[in-house]
Amino acid sequence: MSRVMDKLLACRFRHPDAAVRLFCFPWAGGGSGYYNNWGKLMPGTVEVYSLRLPGRETRLKEPCHKTMEALTNDISTTILPKLKDKPFAFFGHRCKNGYLTSVGEFICYFYSMGAFTAFEVARYLQKWYGLQPQHLFVSGVSAPQSPLRYQKNRQPVFEMSEEAFLDYIRQIGGTPEEILQNKGMMKLFLPPLRADLELLDAYNYQIPDSGPELSCPVTCFDGTEDRDHDLDAWAQLTSHSAFQKTKLPGGHFYLLDKNNQQTLLKHILQTLENI
């Protein structure tokens, strides 16, 4: 891979003879760590790439993107060479709380970064290059045009002071207080988290009068015990008739359960094998 592409794409388990590539989009404030192991769990027919965005991991010193448009442009143009010679698919998960993983990656799962970014990159590729994923997988989130994705009566993140932002993270819950009190850790992980949340606060999408911009199949996953999500609204974003939704036992982070992860990956694999 080129140097620029190598910064963005992480692929721990190479499968050069794979029939299809699966690109996994991180959640708000997140990195490539969780999805990297998917390559080990998939057969050689699928090569898994996890995106590593500016402002985190090995790109810590790079400025985070301020708008969805800039983020989408960067991702799309960088991964383009990987999209021309083989079929590809996208996976994105929404997150709504926060904690620190054992590998030192801060996960915020309050916003729909992964799913929305995957959708926006698919739109961009279709508009400018006539390319689409063979399948768009989204998880744990209402469609971007659905009123259910908006929080009412909440101060925008960009207006929050540092203290107010930390209080906001506390209110969301799930982040141990000892982590919030660790100034060194927060100095490292809060900037990309805040940048992503500001970006998503400003993100808005409406289906154009001409109709859906995608024509690829869409599959939605969700946890049975998670809050209500408008999954059906994702069907409005594609002209393809093959829309599916699957719920697995558990809350928002149902996919961290090993049995659920196995079921999820089996479903994705079966879908990709039919491409």
Strand-pair partners of 220: 138, 245
pLDDT greater at residue 254 or residue 84: 84
- For residue range 59-69, what is the model confidence (pLDDT) as tens digits? 888 998 999 99
Q: Among candidates 205, 198, 271, 194, which has minimal Cα distance to 240? A: 271
> Catalytic amino acids?
112, 252
Rounded CA gap, 133 and 216, in Å?
7
Residue 46: which pLDDT band, with cuts at 50, 70 and 90?
very high
For 206, the token pair is 């409406």
- For residue range 169-202, what is the model confidence (pLDDT) as tens digits? 777 655 667 777 888 877 777 888 888 888 888 8
Average pLDDT, the chain: 85
- For residue range 208-245, what is the model confidence (pLDDT) as tens digits? 999 999 999 999 998 888 778 899 999 999 999 999 99
pLDDT higher than 60, residue 108: no
CATH architecture assignment, domain 3-273: 3-Layer(aba) Sandwich (3.40)
Residue 29: which pLDDT band, with cuts at 50, 70 and 90?
low
Question: CB count, 10 Å around CB of 105?
Answer: 18
pLDDT higher than 70, residue 275: yes
Predicted local distance difference test score (pLDDT) of residue 172: 62
The answer to whether the CB of 75 falls within 8 A of the CB of 90 is no
pLDDT higher than 70, residue 96: no
Q: What is the average pLDDT across 133-162?
A: 85
pTM for the model: 0.87
